[in-house]
Amino acid sequence: MADLKYKQIQNFLKEQIQKGIYHTGDFLPSENDLCEQFKITRTTARKAFDELSKEGFIEKLHGKGSRVRERRKSLGLLTVKGFSEAVGGNVQTEMIKEPVLVKSCPHEFLHNKGEQHLTDCIFFERLRKVGDLPVMIEKNWFSESALKGFTQTEFVDGSFFKTLSRNYRIEITGSEHELRAEFADATTAALLKIREGSPVLHISIKFSTSNPELVIYSELYCNTSRYPVGNSYFI
């Protein structure tokens, strides 16, 4: 029963973070507060905090308490270096194609690695800009059955990952990716405002999530002449 109780507290606090009730940098209630609120022992409260720390949701600061951490830094995904840190509020996102149901996913991983073909999936495409400068074309696919009704969902702060976390309680748990240099075709060149045939970085990513039924396939086309690629990327 004690094991079940700490899990309940852990899930309650995690949901509070995912809903945005507690933001990055906020301190969670103390162990004493949790003991009083939920009528539990300090051992149970401490266990709940320990598990949240292992999952990357909080950091425990000696003598201060448990603070919500920026989980994206621990995911080891793929990002454009400086896209958010250096530019801040100047980042713009333009929806090229709203989320829509399509019959199949042409992702490179499915073709190159002989994975099972993905059918009946949601697709959306966006253009990421720094000010007026287009930097990245982003195409995404995932099984429609894993996120029912997603085509009617509003993105949280323009972020797909935040939407998964806050609206669906789903977290990104890992990724595989392939990088290759290509020459921009006419469509890519027009969107990125570069010459046709200019070099672009094509990145194929397969994201795993906390929902075993949800795998996200992304194709990115990046103009790296101004913003080089780093080691973590967030949709």
Query: Packing angle between helix 31-38 and helix 2-18, nearest 10 degrees?
Result: 110
Burial code of 18-40, b = ≥16 C-beta within 10 A, e = fewer?
Answer: beeebeeeeebbebeebbeebeb
Q: What is the pLDDT of residue 205?
A: 87
Encode pLDDT of 198-215 as tens digits.
999 998 888 899 999 999
pLDDT band at 108 (very low <50, low <70, confident <90, very high): low
Domains for the chain: give ranges and CATH numbers.
2-69 (1.10.10.10), 75-222 (3.40.1410.10)
Residue 4 has pLDDT above 50, yes or no: yes
Q: What is the pLDDT of residue 98?
A: 96
Q: What is the pLDDT of residue 228?
A: 64
Q: What is the pLDDT of residue 112?
A: 59
Q: What is the pLDDT of residue 84?
A: 47
**To the nearest whole percent, how much of the chain has pLDDT over 70?**
82
Residue 216 has pLDDT above 60, yes or no: yes
Encode pLDDT of 43-89 as tens digits.
999 999 999 998 888 899 988 999 998 765 433 335 443 344 444 55
Q: What is the pLDDT of residue 224?
A: 81
Calculate the average pLDDT of the chain: 83
Encode pLDDT of 15-30 as tens digits.
888 888 898 899 999 9
